[in-house]
Chains A and B, each alone.
Chain A
Amino acid sequence: MSDDDHHFDSKADAGASKTYPQQAGTIRKNAYIVIKQRPCKVVEVSTSKTGKHGHAKCHFVGIDIFTGKKLEDIVPSSHNCDVPEVVRTDYQLIDISEDGFVSLLTESGDTKDDLRLPTDDQLLTQIKDGFGDGKDLVVTVMSAMGEEQICALKDIGPKN
């Protein structure tokens, strides 16, 4: 096998909503997985066997990365699971509109205005307070399977 025929070449421009198959036995804690059509972070994996001399199966406990709900699944360990593509993108915060939407600056210089403020209280206060104090804020937006949400915040110093 030579260097340039890696098996992933064809998927070069795959969209962010896609999922990818991966063998269940190789999915570990803290990885992502799709359970019941929801993108989840795996918080617990345990394996058991179908009878002492049977084959291994994996028991996953996942947490929906958007809603925080707990989901579970059992898969034979040699079978494939779907793994979501989870992308995080940093944007600079430009404005917070009164109806609860934020205005973000993309890397290419455009604005992105279709995101709501997060519902998480702590993050919400920090964004509002930081913005109110005139700080320069960068927010991280997490997207997977066609959904998006602000998930983190970084203060890169006061506005000049």
Chain B
Amino acid sequence: MGMEQPAWQQQGMLGSDMERLMVTMQAVEQACSGLQEPNNRAAAEATLLAFRRSSHPVQACQYILEHSHLATARFQAAATMQEAAVREWTLLSAEDKNSLRTYCLHYVMARAEAGEPFVQSKVLAVAAVLLKRGWLDSVATEKESFFNEVRVAVLGTHGPAAQRSGIALLESLVSEFSPSTASAMGLPAEFHEHCRASLELDYLQQFYSWAQDAAVSSAERAFQGVGTPLDVNVCSAALHLMSQILNWEFQGTLVRGPNGSIVVGKNRSNAFTSSMGRESIKRPGEHASVVQPGPAWHDTLLPPNRVGWVLELYARIRQGGLGGSGWIDSPFAVNARQLIVQLCSLSGSIFPVDGNTTQDLHLQRLMSGISPWLDPPEHIVRAIKSGTSESEFLDGCRALVAVASLTSPSAFDQLLRGGPRPVGTLNLLASLTCEIIKASGAQNNEEETWTGEALDILLDSWTVLLQPVDLSKRIPFPPNGIDAAAAVFHAYVETHVKAAAASAHEEGDDTEQLRAAIAARDEHLSAIALVARAAPSATVPLLAMLISERCTWLPQCTGGRVDPTSVLEELHWLLLMSGHVLADSGDGETPLVPESLSALSPGTADPVNHPAVLLSQASIDLARQSLETSIREVFSPRLMEAVVWFFGRWVDTYLMPADAGRGPNSTPSSNEGELPGQIASNTGQFDGRNSLVVAFGEEGGGKAVLETLVRVAVTALTAWPGERTLQEIVCFQFLPALVRRRNICAHLVTMEAWQELAHAFAYQQPTLSALAAPIQRALSEALCKSAAGMSSGDATNQYVKDLLGPITGSITGLSKREDFQTFAQQPDVILQVSCLMERLRGAARATLPRSQKAIFEVGAAVMEPLLILLQTYKHQSSVVYLLLKYVVDWVDGQVAFLEAKETAILFHFCVRLLEIYSAHNIGKVSVSKSMNLISESQTEKYKDLRVLLQLLTNLSSKDLIDFACDLNGEVENPDVAQVVYLGLHIITPLMSVDLLKYPKLCRQYFTLLAHMLEVYPEKVAKLSTEGFGRIVGTLDFGLRHQDVEVVNMSLTALNAVAFYHYHAVCRGQEGLGAHALSTPGPDGAPKEGVLAHFLRSVMQFLLFEDYSNELVEPAADALLPLILCNTGLYQKLAQELLEGQKNAILQSRLATAFHVLLNSNNVSSSLDRNNRRRFRENLYLFLSDVRGFLRTR
């Protein structure tokens, strides 16, 4: 169409209205077909958009709807009509609105049998939008008569076609009124909220009943064969509507006020985050969402005959095979099942408080209907394997997990006892799980299939039963449940050991190494471990036996006599499984022995027979074999990875437990002076806890085990050169676990194996120096941490000095070489320097209060050499980065402890470091042939900046946390602010908005900024206009950031600045001075001062933007001083908002709210703590009152 006027506007050129409409229709039709061809798409889209935006298109739309042969054109017409009606709503007369709505309904009814479904539903959506738009204006009688018509249609008076349309209309209504699926109307959030509440309170239940009635009657006709084929469709649609209604986000807090209006229960949490488009909140890993309509729904949903009817209906679908051979996946069956699963998820106040009787009966009823989908398991699984659809089975599993999450284990177990085939539900769950495990084992080469999904759902059921979120529901498992769990675990182990052996010769799978894959595997193993822990006396010995058995095979494989590969893979899997069963991952904390294991008694007087001891011992024996050179050749790197992983996890929980012998709730003093071994011998009885203490405690076998483990660690680190994954697990997981607790360290430092390691490390023996640099860092950290085990502070410091002395010697020696400038560039020297830096950094990260002195001395000794290195390696960004990282960690460990003199040394060093760095990096442009390398150098720069920011943040923390005991006070403490501002001065030119897009860097920058502005605002005031402008610019950026933390810190910074200014002005000082004043901008118009500017931004932010609730408090703290600094502007802004509000009621509400904000609750114009608190409360009230109608959608 080019630049011509759109056809529907060429009114003057055409004779009659009819012709005009014809032309419009042709244009739209042409555009609709144009959409299909890539060449014409842009033009076609432009035409359609113009049509949508044209004024008064309704007549044309109706013409197209009635006359066009092109379904897509009719669809576009309906969409246009919807948009236009919302846009031009206020221009339409009441009659227009009514007739438009009626038109839509009649249109659909008239074409109920023939129209394309997507056009039909679009037209119905239009009707729903029209209805909602006028919802709050229309009077009750009007709605009543309208819904009467709908009811008549839904109940089938006008035949099945009209019935189906009626149901579809209700579906559109429900979806339009539900906030997450509502269409935008440019109206306040409060409007949407009221519509939702009104529908929930007055209509939803009626809709449900109508749908149910329609379903009952149409199903009856369908089964008796007296109706039309449409009846099945009607019934299916009605079921779908019912399940859609149950999906509604029930609020349950709605109350009708005294004057008949609905009081929307508003709490603080929903006043600020818009509920639009919010996803329903699901608990992780759960396959059924909870349905919680209020008590009012009791009579609609719970009567036995109603539930019974749905179940019976589905049973008849199953038998009669309505829907042909594929009945199982026909919409009819799917909708019925969906509804049944939702009925299983009912919970909350819909059930009367009667000790769960009603709920249990309800669930029993449902379970007896569902059990044929799942029982007998072997049968059903076999059928699915031979081609039956799995969807019914999966829905059954979903119902099971829904029920499991609502009941206690014993109640769950009882649900099927009264049925025709009395069986414990737990037993059913167990045999289902076993069948699925077997089925999944049989087809492990295929892609993820239904068995995977089913297993996930079933394991979820076990998890919710064994570990309910509500801990009060955690009551003992019935005995048959324990046996069932044991059976499931046996099946699982059997299948997976077999699968491991079968897959042992496969190519190593790279994806297995990905973090996501490992996390998914761990999650799966944790779930199954939970099952194993439910029956520990059966499951744990099984694992122990399987490991010991294979352990004895290994020596037979030496010398290449037998291929050990499948045994290795089996052991690998068994170790992973055992690690999950025996212990939880602590993430740095010390996890306790799982309750069911520690409560377990070994049954005999010999503690060695405790299952957990057996399994641990079997694993230790396996690990010990790796120490023997002759057998070691059999151990693959992969098996060793599993070994060290296992012990990294095991050590935290079992080795020399700190609370040995004490009950979980006893106070620390209750067993003081009593040795764990004595407890055992005193009582003469071993329960689980002291069996473990005897086996692995400090006084028991713990020391011997520790010695073995240290040797295993050293072997793993050195005997498989180049196996980085293995070395990483040793240094990042295993060694840190060994040195985590001081009582273990005390044994470590006296142990020969550990001392040998320390010696080899200190004197840079080749085996350890060949390790990758980060590994050396972790090793250094672990060794330095073990110093905590020394008996005195002096001994600790000496230990660290001995460890690091040779290293500082090497660095100093290097830097003093005459030919260092050229020599240093050799790759092997670069490598050596990198490793030394990493070693120092590891040591710095391990700084303890007791070893701080030694680490400071080490650091002080290398200060000069480091500056030389920084200068020499100015082109080796990787070395520079490592060097800076070391300084950051060193400062971090030291800064809190230093006295004035040492602080001065440290600050002086940091300033020189910053100067050298910036001298080499400011204004440098580097280029390269390859885009790839350019982006690499960009990343390097970003990483450097992050490190520098970290350094400044660490330095500035000196003012906050200062443990130094400076008694004489002769030396003046160097001014931290001075140092950090110098640093900022150096860094800000390197910083750009592009770099601030890196999340970590951004956070760091704003942390530092907020801190500096809070503590030293007077220094900011003295900045140059340019420097100040730069900071303001970044704050502007920070306020609009996505990250809540960043916005929070920006607000804190604003608060600090405004606070400072207000106080200064009150005292008659100049505060921010020129920065706060408005200045003439470049174009002559005055540029407002920063505080005024930020008052505007914060108001805008609070009133109109989406933000998290937790930001209101910092925003209130920033807003109050900003208002106090700019009362004039504040009044002006409030006035503007009031004038912009056309609706008189809302205007007066807004005026009151503004008045309350600054006047109620005794808010005064001071900035003391109490006043700020009162203002915060006022702001909460203000926002929850006003945002509802100010924000629109």
The answer on a CB contact under 8 Å between B723 and A55 is yes
Q: Are A20 and B924 in contact, with the CB atoms below 8 A? A: no
Q: Does A97 contact B (CB under 8 A)?
A: no
**Is A36 interfacial (CB-CB < 8 Å)?**
no
Contacts of B924 in A (CB 8 A): 152-154
Residues of chain A with a CB closer than 8 A to B940's CB: 30
0/1 interface trace, chain A 1-25, chain B, CB 8 Å (1 if under): 1011011100111101011101111
- The answer to whether A20 touches B826, judged by C-beta atoms less than 8 angstroms apart, is yes
Q: Does A46 contact B (CB under 8 A)?
A: yes
Please give, as numbers and ranges, the residues of chain B lying within 8 Å of A151 by CB-CB distance.
Answer: 926-928
Docked complex Cα distance between A23 and B877 (Å)? 21
What separation, in Å, do the CA atoms of A3 and B817 have in the docked complex?
13
| B568: interface (CB < 8 Å) | yes
Q: Is A131 an interface residue (CB 8 A)?
A: no
**B936 at interface by CB-CB < 8 Å:** yes
The complex places the Cα of A31 from the Cα of B826 at a distance, in Å, of 13
B962 → chain A, closest Cβ, in Å?
Answer: 37
Residue A54 interfacial (CB < 8 Å): yes
Within 8 A of A (CB), among B902-924: 923-924
Decide: B933 and A84 in contact? CB cutoff 8 A: no
Q: Select one of B638, B927, B932 contacting A49, CB under 8 A.
A: B638
Q: Is the CB of A120 within 8 A of B927?
A: yes
Is B478 an interface residue, CB under 8 A from the partner?
Answer: no
Of all chain B residues, the one with the shortest Cβ separation from A24 is: B722
1/0 contact trace for A122-149 toward B, CB 8 Å? 1100100000000000001000000000
**A11 with B826: in contact, given A56-B637, A63-B930, A68-B929 (CB under 8 Å)?**
yes
- Cβ contact within 8 Å between B505 and A51: yes
Asked if B936 and A43 make an inter-chain contact with CB atoms under 8 angstroms apart, the answer reads yes
Residues in A with CB closer than 8 Å to B926 are 140, 151-153
B250 close to A (CB within 8 Å): no
| A79 CA to B823 CA, complexed, in Å | 25
Is B721 part of the binding interface, using a Cβ–Cβ cutoff of 8 Å? yes
With A26-B831, A85-B825, A126-B925: A49-B508 Cβ-Cβ less than 8 Å: yes
Tell yes or no: A50 within 8 A of B by CB: yes
Q: Which of B637, B722, B878, B930 contacts A23 (CB 8 A)?
A: B722
- State in angstroms the CA–CA spacing of A68 and B934 once bound together: 11
Contact of B724 among A30, A32, A56, A68 (CB under 8 A): A56
Q: Contact: A12 with B823, CB < 8 Å?
A: yes
Residues of chain A lying within 8 A (CB to CB) of residue B822: 13
| CB <8 Å contact, B828 and A8 | yes
Contact of A66 among B721, B927, B929 (CB under 8 A): B929
Q: How many whole Å from B148's CB to the nearest CB in chain A?
A: 69
Collect the chain A residues with CB atoms within 8 Å of residue B806's CB: 3
- Which residues of the other chain, B, contact A159 by a CB distance below 8 angstroms? none
Q: Would you call B813 an interface residue if the criterion is a C-beta within 8 Å of the partner chain's C-beta atoms?
A: yes
Q: Are B637 and A68 in contact (CB under 8 A)?
A: no
Stretch at the interface among B282-290, B393-401, B764-772, B1126-1134: B764-772
A47-B424 Cα distance, complex, nearest whole Å: 50
Interface residues of A in 89-131 (CB under 8 A from B): 118, 120, 122-123, 126
Asked if B722 contacts A55 (CB within 8 A), the reply is yes
> With an 8 A cutoff between CB atoms, is B507 at the interface?
yes
Given contacts A66-B929, A76-B722, A123-B927, contact A53 B565 (CB under 8 A): yes
Contacts of A66 in B (CB 8 A): 929
Would you call B825 and A52 a contact (CB within 8 A)? no
Question: CB distance B925 to A152 under 8 Å?
Answer: yes
Which residue of the partner chain A has the closest CB to B566? A53
Q: A157 vs B504: C-alpha distance in the bound complex, in angstroms?
A: 65
B770, closest chain A residue (CB): A23
| Most chain B beta-carbon contacts within 10 A, residue among A47, A51, A52, A54 | A52
Given contact pairs A53-B636, A54-B508, A67 touches B827 in the complex (Cβ within 8 A): no
Q: How far is the CB of B802 from chain A (nearest CB, A)?
A: 14
Q: Say whether A38 faces chain B, with CB atoms less than 8 Å apart.
A: no
Nearest CB in chain B to that of A46: its residue: B510
Asked if B929 and A140 sit within 8 Å, CB to CB, the answer is: no
Residues of chain B within 8 A (CB-CB) of A156 are: 923
A35 within 8 A of B: no
Minimum CB–CB distance for A127 against chain B, Å: 10
Cα A76 to Cα B722 with chains together (Å): 8
Is B829 part of the binding interface, using a Cβ–Cβ cutoff of 8 Å? Answer: yes
Interface pair A52/B928, CB less than 8 Å apart: no
CB-based nearest A residue for B805: A3
In angstroms, Cα B828 to Cα A22, docked, is 8
Chain A's nearest CB lies how many Å from the CB of B517?
Answer: 14
Whether A47 pairs with B725 at a CB distance below 8 angstroms is yes
> How close is A32's CB to chain B, nearest CB, in angstroms?
7
Q: How far is the CA of A77 from the CA of B638 in the complex (A)?
A: 14
Q: Which residues of B contact A83 (CB under 8 A)?
A: 827-828, 831
- Determine whether B705 belongs to the interface, using a CB cutoff of 8 Å to chain A: no
Asked if B773 lies at the interface with its beta carbon under 8 angstroms from chain A, I say yes
Please judge, given known A-B contacts A3-B813, A84-B827, whether A152 and B508 are in contact too, CB under 8 Å: no
Q: Which positions 43-87 of chain A face chain B at CB distance < 8 Å?
A: 43, 46-56, 63, 65-68, 76-79, 83-87
Could you tell me the distance between the alpha carbons of A140 and B507 in the complex, rounded to whole angstroms? 46
Q: Which residues of B contact A63 (CB under 8 A)?
A: 930, 932-933
Q: Is B651 an interface residue (CB 8 A)?
A: no
Is B927's CB under 8 angstroms from A3's CB? no
Q: Tell me which residues across on chain B come within 8 A of A52, comparing CB atoms.
A: 503-509, 565, 569, 636, 638
Which chain B positions have C-beta within 8 A of A88? 875
- B residues in contact with A87, CB < 8 Å: 825
Contact partner of B875 (CB less than 8 A), chosen from A13, A53, A67, A140, is: A140
- Give residues of chain B (422-454) contacting chain A, Cβ–Cβ below 8 Å: none
Are A54 and B933 in contact (CB-based, < 8 A)?
Answer: no
Q: Which residues of chain A are near B636, meaning CB under 8 Å?
A: 52-54
CB-CB under 8 A from A47, the residues of chain B are 513, 724-725
Give A16 to B824 CA distance when docked, in angstroms.
12
Are A53's CB and B827's CB within 8 A? no
* Contact of A152 with B510 in the complex, beta carbons under 8 Å: no
A7 to chain B, nearest CB (A): 8
List chain B residues, Cβ under 8 A from A123: 925, 927
The verdict on B368 contacting chain A, using a C-beta distance below 8 Å, is no
**What residues of A have a CB within 8 angstroms of the CB of B813 in the complex?**
3-4, 6
- Complex contact A20–B828 (CB within 8 A): yes
Contact, CB under 8 Å: A26 / B770: yes
**In the complex, chain B residues whose CB is within 8 Å of the CB of A22:** 827-828, 831
Query: What is the CA–CA distance of A160 and B806 in the complex, to the nearest angstrom?
Result: 49
Q: Does B210 contact A (CB under 8 A)?
A: no
List the B residue with the shortest CB-CB distance to A57: B722
The docked-state distance in angstroms from the alpha carbon of A140 to that of B508 is 44
- A-facing mask of B719-751, CB < 8 A → 1, else 0? 011111100000000000000000000000000
* Complex: A152 Cα to B923 Cα, angstroms: 11
Asked if B1026 is an interface residue, CB under 8 A from chain A, the answer is no
Q: Which residue of A lies closest to B878 (CB)?
A: A30
Smallest beta-carbon distance B772→chain A, Å: 4
B 820-854 contacts with A by CB, 8 A: 822-823, 825-829, 831-832
**B639 at the A interface (CB under 8 A):** yes
Interface residue? B810 (CB, 8 A): yes
CB of B819 closer than 8 Å to a CB of A? yes
Task: Report B605 CB to chain A, min CB distance, Å.
Answer: 42
Q: A78's closest neighbor in chain B, by CB?
A: B722
Chain B residues whose C-beta falls within 8 Å of the C-beta of A16 in the assembled complex:
825
List 10 other contacts, CB 8 Å, given A32-B827, A63-B932, A88-B875.
A11-B826, A49-B508, A49-B638, A52-B505, A52-B636, A54-B636, A83-B831, A151-B928, A152-B927, A154-B924
Contacts from B to A (Cβ < 8 Å) = 503-510, 513, 565, 568-569, 636-639, 720-725, 763-766, 770-773, 806, 809-810, 813, 819, 822-823, 825-829, 831-832, 875, 877-878, 923-930, 932-933, 936, 940
The 6 closest A-B pairs by CB, nearest first: A68-B929, A78-B722, A77-B722, A49-B508, A53-B636, A25-B722
Q: 19 A-B contacts, Cβ less than 8 Å apart?
A: A3-B813, A4-B813, A6-B810, A7-B766, A20-B827, A22-B827, A25-B724, A26-B771, A26-B773, A28-B772, A53-B636, A63-B933, A77-B724, A83-B827, A85-B826, A140-B926, A153-B926, A154-B925, A155-B923
